[in-house]
Amino acid sequence: MSCAIQCKNLTKKFHNRIAVNDLTLSIKKGSIYGFLGPNGSGKSTTIRMLCGLLVPTSGSGTVLGFDVTKESESIKQRIGYMSQKFSLYEDLTVEENLQFYAGVYGIAGRELKQRKADLIEMAGLTGREKQLAGSLSGGWKQRLALSCALLHRPELLILDEPTAGVDPVSRRIFWDVIHDLARQGITILVTTHYMDEAETCDEIGFIFFGNLLTHGTPKSLISEMNADNLEDVFITLVQQQEAAQAELGQKVGRK
Ligand SMILES: Nc1ncnc2c1ncn2[C@@H]1O[C@H](COP(=O)(O)OP(=O)(O)O)[C@@H](O)[C@H]1O
Ligand SMILES: [Mg+2]
């Protein structure tokens, strides 16, 4: 099995607080991996370590074969990253945003012209090239941000809550694009709170306050937990964890 991401016992502490605890996982090349968990569970922190933006406190990991602690520059060149707050320049047009990111990645000339045309078409932004990014609706902004993240033809795309606050039609269009990209062989790691999106991932991992509770295909998780759907799996896992924490709290209180 060829893996795009592998990490072992990856841990991040902020002061004395553990944000990510002993995370071990592997993500197959060309697959879509959905990372689920309540807010504050450590999803973005994990992503930032995998992108080489944050140094792990302990543990190890490789992304596209490069070490997350020692080869972060090589990782950054090969991945596309869309952060929770996508980094568009609102006072630049659609085309100028693409041009700006092309400059960052060192893409110019004929290659830039072709890439821009392909990505504008992929994002359905044809005819909006001269429109200011700030005046686009949430769905268009999101697809422009995705186009910017794809300019340098990354092998791995990391998307942190790309569809938060976006209308259902735009979410559907966005996910059609994501599935197309996966069919082209691009690996995708995506965080989401939407279970309809998670159900279309090849594999998903549930993280709860720093701990990866379970992972597998959506079908296998639903059947293992004897649940009707992923939402039930998610709610059951969270309730189990909350009950375990409450019990622990009572024990500590009794001591
Ligand atoms: N730079 C930071 N400094 C201190 N604490 C942080 C920092 N970044 C994240 N955290 C904490 O780490 C935990 C996990 O956060 P995060 O990874 O953003 O979770 P998620 O993306 O799942 O919502 C939270 O308790 C958050 O407050
Ligand atoms: Mg987050």
Give the start-to-end residue ranges of the domains of the chain. Answer: 3-254
Interacting residues of 229 by C-beta distance below 8 A, sequence separation 6+:
195, 199, 222
Question: Is it the case that residue 245 has pLDDT exceeding 90?
Answer: no
- Does the pLDDT value for residue 140 go beyond 80? yes
> Considering only CA atoms, which of 12, 8, 157 is closest in space to residue 75?
157
Ligand 1 within 6 A of CB of 14 = yes
Which ligand 1 atom lies nearest to the CA of residue 47? 17
pLDDT at residue 1, as a whole number: 59
CATH class of 3-254: alpha beta
Conformation bin of residue 30: beta by default, left when phi > 0, alpha when psi is -120 to 50:
left
Higher pLDDT, 87 or 211: 211
Between CA 6 and CA 230 the distance in angstroms is 25
Closest C-alpha to ligand 1, atom 2: 14
Atom of ligand 1 lying closest to residue 84 CA: 21
Dist. CA 47–CA 130, nearest whole Å: 33
**C-beta separation of 44 from 191 below 8 A:** yes
Q: What is the pTM of this model?
A: 0.93
Q: Which residues pair with 7 in a beta bridge?
A: 25, 61
- Partner residues linked to 26 by β-bridges: 6
Atom 18 (ligand 1): residue with closest C-alpha? 44
Q: Which atom of ligand 1 is nearest to the CA of 46?
A: 17
